[in-house]
Amino acid sequence: MALLESEIPDTAQHYLVCGIGDCERNCLFYCNPCHQPMCEQCKDKHQKSPETKNHEVVPYRDRKHKLPMEKCRDHPTRNIDILCDECNVPLCSKCSTMPAHKGHSFTDLETIYTEKSIACRQEVQNIQAYFMPTAKDLQSKIKLDATEIKTIMDGIRSSMRDEAKSLKTLVDEVTSDNIEQLNKMEESLRDILQNQEKTYQEYISYLEDLVKKFHDYLSSTQLQNNPIISPLSEHFKIRPIPETTKPVPPEFTAGRYTKGDVAKLMGRITILDTKAENRKIKPTETSSTQLQPTGKHWKQEREKSDVKQTLSLSSSVTKVREYTVPGVDRVFHVSLGRSGRLWVSDDDGNLVQTDLQGNHILNIQTKGYRNEGYHTVTKDGDLIYTDKHNNIINRITLDNTITEIIKTGDWTPISIHSSHINEDILVGMDTDKEAKVTRYNKTGKEIQNIQRDNKGQELFEGPLYITENINGDICTSDIYRDSVVVVNKSGQHRFSYTGQGSKFYPKGVCTDPLRHILVCDYYSHTVHLLDQDGQFLCLLLAHQVERRPSSLCVDDENNLIVGQYGTNTVTVYKYLQR
């Protein structure tokens, strides 16, 4: 059973349960006076009880946030719980009777705290949904500008070097003669200095030997023939330090030409008298991490926005239809194409296209990709799939022409997704020891690699399924880490979701128009529903799937399409409502 959108807690970190006694049913309501979450049954009992029948019980999302406990400074036995409207000062109820606040009006501080908390969370959401992505987009544009400026500057430098070549040839000839003369002088001076250094090294060796000799005299235990008891004058006669002369280097007399004289022979750099344009900042009403729609895409994006505003989670999940897919043994991965047509693959390398009724349209034989999301459909309706045996990625156009578009080198492509935001291609890859996600543009040019977090730690081990949320986040189902790993479009780690129990085996992953993340759990035979920040909302299909769900996608009518392991059955469910 799914939760209504208005009943889903916006701060949930786990599946909310009723807090009354040992009741563990779903939490749907909240008693504001008791600050107690409760299910529908406990809510009915609570409102029928003589002691609590007048309590304010509201849907969980509309709850009042519990006010932090703080003792009054003037009345230590009482908590601060009201606000003086005239003085704008938090008080306890006893303070309100003091002469300083006589005749003033007061407001329940918990009400204010709840309103401010909601406003604060909205601001945080606004920052995360608009200001932060917009600022990062501008930052990315600055990097592109920096690249463009460098290209221009390199071109100017190249022109300047070319122009200087003719002059430099003459200068080099004169300079070469001068340097050759200087080199001979340097060699002569270096010989002198080396001889002087050798003189001092020999003198230092002499001193070291003398010191050793004196230490031997001092440490000797025999007095006979010991020079220390003899007159020492001749032993202490130390040779004087050799004298050397400091060589005098040559001087260079500059030519009669100045820099200005040379500048007149060369080209000039001109600063354009053009006013710099302000960078365009997306307005808040259309802000998101998506690219802004233009031209022919505007109407389509506007319709999607209108759909999102009217959609919410349904109170129940209902089966719409079910059909078998001819030509496949088991359903391991599904990709949605145009007009609701579906591509379905199994572990024998069969890749089959069907219509909405399961009628066979086209079959392609690949090399077999068990438990991997190795195919995807572009906005234009082309199929893209990986060939992990040859480390390449192919495209099949609507006229069934197969073209190789990407070579991944030493990396093996194991999952793929075509972005419907900007038509980029996201590929999950691995080697024997490493894994990463690579972004290509629609023509196959590599533009981004995502492999490690900002601490240098590996983000992925086996991104076997991959998708993109409409906020630009990249979501991967990493079966080797038993988690869903999510990074933003810049490649920074946002969160990892590891399930709700002791075991969690994630398979297929997708998103919907409400930015929910849906992932198949092979272990529990369910689909986990998360919000865009990784907070668990509920389990879908908890008692409706006979076989383990392995893959899923959301169609144009916002239905959930689920492929089941161990059967060639595809089932369509309705879980969103208008």
CB atoms within 10 A of CB 560: 24
Q: What percent of the chain has pLDDT over 90?
A: 28
Both structure tokens of 394: 């192919």
Torsion of CA 382, 387, 390, 391, to 10 degrees: 80
pLDDT of the residue at 299: 37
CATH 3.30.160 fits 5-62, yes or no: yes
Mean of all residue pLDDT scores within the chain: 83
Give start-end residues of each CATH 2.120.10.30 domain in the chain.
297-577
| 377 neighbors 342 (Cβ within 8 angstroms) | no
pTM of the predicted model as reported, rounded to 2 decimal places: 0.50
User: If you average pLDDT over residues 479-497, what whole number do you get?
Assistant: 92
Residue 261 has pLDDT above 60, yes or no: yes
Residue 515 has pLDDT above 60, yes or no: yes
The predicted pLDDT at position 235 comes to 58
- The structure tokens listed for 69 are 């406990």
pLDDT (tens digit per residue) in 25-58? 888 888 988 888 989 889 999 999 998 989 988 8
Which residues have CB under 8 Å from 110's CB, separation 6+? 64, 65, 66, 67, 81
Return the pLDDT at 284: 62
Do residues 335 and 383 touch, judged by C-beta distance below 8 A?
A: yes
Pairwise CA distance, residues 517 & 532, whole Å:
6
Which pLDDT does position 417 carry in this prediction? 96
The arithmetic mean of pLDDT across residues 13-18, rounded, is 65
The closest of 87, 125, 123, 92 to 105, measured between CA atoms, is 87
The mean pLDDT of 457-461, rounded to a whole number, is: 93
Q: Report, as an integer, the average pLDDT of 243-249.
A: 87
pLDDT score at 251:
82
Give the containing element (helix H, strand E) for 344.
strand 342-345
What is the rounded distance in angstroms from the CA atom of residue 16 to the CA atom of residue 425?
Answer: 37
Residue 306 predicted with pLDDT over 60: no
Q: Rounded CA gap, 361 and 353, in Å?
A: 5
Q: pLDDT band for 529, please (50, 70, 90 cuts).
A: very high
pLDDT of 391 reads 92
Residue 303's pLDDT band, with cuts at 50, 70 and 90, is very low
Lowest-confidence pick of 92-101, 224-233, 307-316, 397-406? 224-233
Higher pLDDT, 171 or 233: 171
Residues 425-435 pLDDT 10s: 999 999 988 99
Do 57 and 46 meet the contact criterion of CB atoms below 8 Å apart? yes
Rounded Cα–Cα distance for residues 263 and 490 (Å): 46
H/E stretch holding 431 reads none
Half-sphere exposure of 41 (CA within 13 A, CB side): 9
Quickly state the pLDDT bin for 234 (edges 50, 70, 90). low
The pLDDT tens digits for 326-357 are 888 888 899 998 877 899 998 888 889 998 77
pLDDT, tens only, 68-87 = 888 998 899 999 989 998 88
Q: Residue 374's closest CA among 393, 352, 398? A: 393
Unique residue bearing structure tokens 């009054």? 72
541 has a pLDDT exceeding 60: yes
Summarize the confidence of residues 7-26 as an average pLDDT: 65
CA atoms within a 13 Å half-sphere pointing along the CA-CB vector of 339: 7
pLDDT value at 273 more than 60: no
Higher pLDDT, 264 or 224: 264
- CA nearest 349: which of 335, 334, 363, 362? 363
Kindly report the number of other CB atoms within 10 A of residue 466's CB atom: 24
Residue scoring higher pLDDT (428 or 261): 428
Q: Which two tokens stand for residue 194?
A: 């080396």
What band does 305 get if pLDDT is binned at 50, 70 and 90?
Answer: very low
Cα angle for residues 161, 165, 169 (degrees, 5° grid): 145
Encode 27-57: b = buried (16+ Cβ within 10 Å), e = exposed. Answer: bbbbbbeeebbbbeebbeebeeeeeeeeeeb
pLDDT confidence of residue 10: 43
φ and ψ of 353, to 5 deg: -105, 130
> 255 to each of 13, 171, 180, how far by Cα in Å?
78, 12, 17
| Residue range(s) occupied by CATH 3.30.160 in the chain | 5-62
Mean pLDDT of 476-487: 93
Percent above pLDDT 70 for the chain: 87
Q: What is the pLDDT of residue 15?
A: 58
Q: What is the pLDDT of residue 573?
A: 92
Q: Name which residue leads in pLDDT, 395 or 253.
A: 395
Nearest residue to 567 via CA among 289, 262, 329, 231: 329
pLDDT at position 230 = 65
Task: Assess whether pLDDT exceeds 70 at residue 12.
Answer: no
* Strand partners for 466: 476
pLDDT of residue 436: 95
The residue that leads in pLDDT, 296 or 443, is: 443
The pLDDT assigned to 285 comes to 46
Q: State the pLDDT confidence band at 172, using cuts at 50, 70 and 90.
A: confident
Q: What is the pLDDT of residue 13?
A: 40
Higher pLDDT, 567 or 261: 567
Nearest Cα neighbor of 350 from 363, 336, 333 is 363
Which tops the pLDDT comparison, 18 or 298? 18
State whether CATH 2.120.10.30 applies to domain 297-577: yes
Between residues 363 and 306, which one has the greater pLDDT? 363
The partner residues of 527 in beta bridges, in order of sequence, read 520, 540
Q: Can you list the positions of beta strands (E) in 388-441?
A: 392-396, 402-407, 412-418, 425-430, 435-440
